Structure 1
Amino acid sequence: MRVATTAIETCHNKDANAAKISTLATAAAQEGVKLVVFPEAALQGYMYAINEAMSTDELKYHYHEAEPLNGPTVLAIAAVAQEHDIHIIFGMVEIAGAILYDTAALCLPDGSVRGFRKVHRGGSELHIFEAGTRVSPTETAVGKLGISICYDLCFPEISRMHALQGAELIIFPNAWPVPEGAEESDPRLMPYVLLPRARAWENQCYVITSNVVGKADVGHVSYFGHSRIIDPLGQVIADTEDREGMVVADIDLIAGILDARTGPFFGYNILKDRRPDIYSGIDEPHPFEPTS
């Protein structure tokens, strides 16, 4: 199966972002791609700032530009997926009633749309978004997909829940910033550099990340890019680097997962070898004292 991920410069103009998503998705389909991934908030643009107070203007923007999953711009992208027989995943600001969610939309080749809400919020997101409450993979023609968003990457429980429910490919749309002048070895970038590979290795399944790249059109935030396709051994097999673009890889979900769970590392099958009988307390809301 041929898959693709993108690193794009987004702006706070929904029509412009939607046009970019549609153009790249069409180009991907012309290369034989069956699944293409775009970043977090790719449709409307991400926060104006990461850890700052939210202005009235920004709050108004997000409410004005938010759409339900059956909104006109979302359905226009879904029509592209249907026309070109491709699965398209992109981040968006979803409105449900009066509530906003940081959501990843999955547009399927039959024209339908499924949504996956970010569970863990941080920084400025706490001002505006409600948290998602479900972690559930979804069956598609290209495999069973576990879809979570950005900060969810930092919580191994999320990816493990996907894997235990049969996810073959875990997908993370991101808006991961880069501190000015930082190199990839900068400790502030380590979560994004290391954790997707760790999530792939510890669950022995494929992982795809997609990240915003470049300087934001509003505010002073820049984004890291480096959207990646990672195999079940934690190896990066495609990387957009720090520029706008798309990378493509041919993967075999079943063969790749089977190889990881039976071949290297003495045939370790991490999901099978778990010891849930001694993991009591791991789901407690606060740290617990060891019993011995």
Structure 2
Amino acid sequence: MTRQLTVGLVQQAAWPDKSKSLAESEAGIRELAAKGAKLVMLQELHATHYFCQYEDTELFDLAEPLDGPTGTRLAELAAELDIVLMGSLFERRAPGVYHNTAVVYDGKRGVVGQYRKMHIPDDPGFYEKFYFTPGDHDAARNEGFTPIDTSVGRLGVLVCWDQWYPEAARLMALAGAELLLYPTAIGWNPQDDETEKTRQKDAWTIIQRSHGVANGIPVLVANRVGHEPDLSGVGAGIDFWGGSFVCGPQGELLAHAGTESERMLVTLDLDHGENVRRWWPYLRDRRVDAYGDLTRRLRD
């Protein structure tokens, strides 16, 4: 008998009004749980608009502690519906120290772990280094590239910009992750031409599917949708492209969302990954004695 897990992803628009954004998230969570999802995943920073398009110290007021109103509401939902729920918080850890944090709630057990985004971008329209402190990496304290144990399996949770780094996915896999989860917020500059838009989205999808292939485990990706203006008036805003998906351990697409709000439900065969790793034992054949230079910035 195979181990099966029904997972749900909420792809949604979000707004500066937290109550409106969270109501949309909650509706998706409830719908998916009613249809049998045991693990539900939300996108990055789902409680607010994507505020990192410009720099403004007043926007730090959006941050909350892990047990603040947003975290408390997500914990209550997970307990009520008896599901594992992955949410995303703009975390206020201390004055001047804020994180982009994915939090995992496991039914009535409450919070079972969190992951603070490790790779922080700083690009036009994505000024995240202004807002977010990178997470620490300390496996002994379950910080950084360390999976989170839940009642449905061991989750390798990473966040958005982390998705471009094979090292992050590999470290999660080496620590026993059974699934990779990527909550994300990515989209196009409306001024880009269609060819450039296609290249960007294809690259984003391919790199994450490749993490499934390289590590022999399924990958879940939840992205936001809708046009969000640059409230500073400087930029053209961002058209978030959606495209959330679930792929299996050979990179096979099991579900792939469009560009509008959507709730996705997929049943995974977790034992298939065991077979894939037997057929293609990448982890066995790694030349760990020859990779020391990976910890250097460049090889001269």
Secondary structure of 1:282's partner?
helix
Residue-by-residue CA offset, 1:139-168 (whole Å, 9 max, x unaligned): 111100000101101111000000000000
Conserved 8 A contact 1:137-1:146: yes
Instruction: Name the counterpart of 2:277.
Output: 261
Instruction: Name the counterpart of 1:115.
Output: 114
Deviation (angstroms), 1:5: 1.2
After the TM superposition, which residues 148-163 of structure 1 pair with which residues of structure 2 at under 5 Å, given as runs?
148-163=158-173
Instruction: Name the counterpart of 1:92.
Output: 89
Secondary structure of 1:42's partner?
coil
CA distance in 1, matches of 2:284, 2:207: 22
Aligned-pair Cα RMSD in Å: 1.6
Conserved 8 A contact 1:18-1:77: no
After the TM superposition, which residues 17-166 of structure 1 pair with which residues of structure 2 at under 5 Å, given as runs?
17-49=21-53, 53-54=54-55, 56=56, 59-61=57-59, 63-98=60-95, 99-113=97-111, 114-123=113-122, 124-133=127-136, 134-166=144-176
**Structure 1 ranges of 4+ moved more than 3 A:** 181-185
After the TM superposition, which residues 189-200 of structure 1 pair with which residues of structure 2 at under 5 Å, given as runs?
189-200=201-212
Deviation (angstroms), 1:11: 0.9
Deviation (angstroms), 1:185: 6.8
Q: CA, structure 1 residues 218+111, in 2 after alignment: closer, same or farther (shift >3 Å)?
A: farther
Specify the code of the residue in structure 2 equivalent to 1:97.
Answer: A
Q: Is 1:236 aligned to residue 248 of structure 2?
A: no
CA distance in 2, matches of 1:90, 1:182: 32
Residue-by-residue CA offset, 1:112-139 (whole Å, 9 max, x unaligned): 1232110000120011110012110011
Conserved 8 A contact 2:10-2:42: yes
Q: CA, structure 1 residues 170+217, in 2 after alignment: closer, same or farther (shift >3 Å)?
A: same
CA distance in 1, matches of 2:198, 2:70: 37
Secondary structure of 1:82's partner?
helix
Residue-by-residue CA offset, 1:65-95 (whole Å, 9 max, x unaligned): 2111111221112101100011111222000
Deviation (angstroms), 1:223: 0.5
Conserved 8 A contact 1:148-1:171: yes
CA distance in 2, matches of 1:239, 1:218: 28
Q: Is 1:207 aligned to residue 219 of structure 2?
A: yes
Deviation (angstroms), 1:48: 4.7
CA distance in 2, matches of 1:183, 1:6: 28
Q: TM-score, normalised by structure 1?
A: 0.90
Deviation (angstroms), 1:218: 4.8
CA distance in 2, matches of 1:185, 1:44: 25
Q: Is 1:247 aligned to residue 259 of structure 2?
A: no
Alignment size in residue pairs: 276
Conserved 8 A contact 2:74-2:87: no
CA distance in 2, matches of 1:76, 1:217: 27
Q: Among residues 154, 166, 169, which one is paired with 2:179 in the alignment?
A: 169
Q: TM-score, normalised by structure 2?
A: 0.88
Deviation (angstroms), 1:256: 1.7
CA distance in 1, matches of 2:108, 2:196: 40
CA distance in 2, matches of 1:25, 1:280: 43
CA distance in 1, matches of 2:62, 2:182: 23
